[in-house]
Amino acid sequence: MYLWLKAFHIIFMVTWFAGLFYLPRLYVYHAMPENRSSFELFKVMERRLFAIMTIGAVLAAVFGLAMLAINWRYLLEVTHWFHLKLLLVAALVAYHYACYRLMAAFRNGTNTHGHKWYRWFNEAPSVLLIIVVILAVLKPF
């Protein structure tokens, strides 16, 4: 059962990350004044992608918590890699929320960031993904 939970956790984690990678890329294009004629289309695409990535995030969390319910010793033992992983997942949830706030700013016409800022913002989930995968696979400490 644990391996089934892990498989679905990974599947929905990939779904979530697909959105975390692509939504800020849409923001890059949405923030470029030369794309003004496509702004309404970007709003629709952003809203739909955010919904899909939120479903992925929730289901990744559900299956992750189910795995934790079966293997709860990770919370009690001195497994610093796991505690760091949870902290980084919390950072990803905060990033997800920041994506929502940015999407709302575009929708309301109150965006204050340029496309260069969004290019940098877009890099954060890549860095976090690398660290989380290394922690989960290597369990270095």
Q: Does residue 9 have a known ligand-binding role?
A: yes
Per-residue confidence (pLDDT) for residue 72, from 0 to 100: 86
**Helix/strand/coil for 28:** helix
Sign, CA torsion 20/25/31/35: negative
Mean pLDDT of 35-46: 97
Mean pLDDT of 104-130: 98
Number of structural domains found in the chain = 1
Domain assignment of residue 12, given as a range? 2-138
Contact assessment for residue 5 and residue 66, using Cβ atoms and an 8 Å cutoff: yes
Mean pLDDT of 117-137: 97
Q: Does residue 85 have a known ligand-binding role?
A: yes
Is the confidence at residue 76, as pLDDT, over 90? no
Per-residue confidence (pLDDT) for residue 125, from 0 to 100: 97
Rounded to whole angstroms, the Cα distance separating 22 from 8 reads 21
